[in-house]
Amino acid sequence: MNKQQLFEQIQRKKSFLCVGLDPVLDKLPKHLLKYEDPILEFNKQLIDATHDLCVAYKPNTAFYETRGVKGWDTLVKTWKHFPKDVFTIADAKRGDIGNTSAMYAEAFFNQESSDMSFDSITVAPYMGKDSVSPFLTYEDKWVILLALTSNAGSQDFQTKQSEDQKLYEQVITTSSQWAGSDQMMYVVGATKPEEFQNIRRLAPDNFLLVPGVGAQGGSLSAVCEFGLNSECGLLVNAARSIIYASSGEDFAEKAREEALALQQEMEQILKSANLI
């Protein structure tokens, strides 16, 4: 999915919601345990209940890898269940020397190799250009580079000042030379709303993947005040507040209610910004 197609989906669905699929077996509704693959059934029902309200899904691969071969199979089958009109994010946070990154890229982008072809992957920038470039060789695939994350520990490195820039600012400035806004996104946490104006100065046209709204306490309105651009430019992720809205047999229905509330708020924001 290219940038124009993504914006068209946002306009059509009146939403820039991304649903994080981070399932933990112990937290699943108990009635799902009768299925051969409870996590897959959980994901499928969530997708079926929310796909008209969101434009993206983001499975965090660690929640699947922890279950070994069976978990990887669940991830593949989850990817296959995604509708064609949603943007898919492999939240894998990869990044290594060039030949290793090339293998990571093949694992998540090459369906012939791995049986999956996500639209994008999250990448750690610490090892520099040659660790990111292999992901950028795939046409219409995206790198979502970690810039300013929502966790408390982000202050340990990301906001440290070096010469005239903070580290996360250097990440954005330097990486913007590797790819344009049609292939590069940035992760910016909703818990850092005061930084969005500065980030938009550095990356005016890029999409931002924004975790931290919902269970982590980030404010959607605060993010949008400075984060929106002329193509929306935001994918706001919510995971726990949606997927664990209920632990009963009505979990998918309650997940839809949570997603609908966010979608309706996003619709009003898009209308106020004259984007729909």
Mean residue pLDDT of the chain comes to 95
pLDDT digits (tens, 9 = 90+) for 169-191: 999 999 999 999 999 999 998 87
Three-state SS across 28-81? CCHHHHHCCCHHHHHHHHHHHHHCCCCCEEEEECHHHHCCHHHHHHHHHHHHHH
The yes-or-no verdict on residue 212 having pLDDT over 90 is: no
Measured in degrees and rounded to the nearest 5, phi and psi for residue 159 equal -105, 5
Angle subtended at Cα 51 by Cα 49 and Cα 53, rounded to the nearest 5 degrees: 95
Percent of the chain with pLDDT strictly greater than 70? 99
Considering the candidates 93, 166, 192, 254, report the single residue annotated as catalytic: 93
According to the model, what pLDDT value does residue 217 have? 65
Does the domain at 3-272 match CATH 3.20.20.70? Answer given as yes
**184 residue type, one letter:** M
Please enumerate in sequence order all residues whose Cβ is within 8 A of that of 131, keeping only pairs 6 or more positions apart, or say none.
Answer: 95, 96, 97, 98, 101, 123, 125
Is 129 annotated in the active site?
no
- Please name every residue paired with 240 in a beta bridge, in sequence order, or none if there are none: none
Angle subtended at Cα 69 by Cα 63 and Cα 73, rounded to the nearest 5 degrees: 75
Across 194-198, average pLDDT? 88
Across 251-269, average pLDDT? 97
Closest CA to 135 of 204, 114, 125, 87: 125
pLDDT digits (tens, 9 = 90+) for 114-171: 999 999 999 999 999 999 999 999 988 999 999 998 888 988 999 898 888 999 999 9
Measured in degrees and rounded to the nearest 5, phi and psi for residue 58 equal -135, 90
DSSP percent split of the chain into helix, strand, coil, nearest 5: 50, 20, 35
pLDDT digits (tens, 9 = 90+) for 50-71: 999 999 999 999 999 999 999 9
Domain spans of the chain, in order of start: 3-272
- Whole-model pTM: value is 0.95
- Side-chain-side CA neighbours of 139 within 13 Å: the count stands at 0
Six-digit token pair at 110? 């090459």
Question: Which ranges of 58-214 does DSSP label H, i.e. alpha helix?
Answer: 62-65, 68-81, 98-109, 111-114, 129-132, 167-175, 196-202
User: Angle at which helices 68-81 and 38-50 pack, to 10 degrees?
Assistant: 20
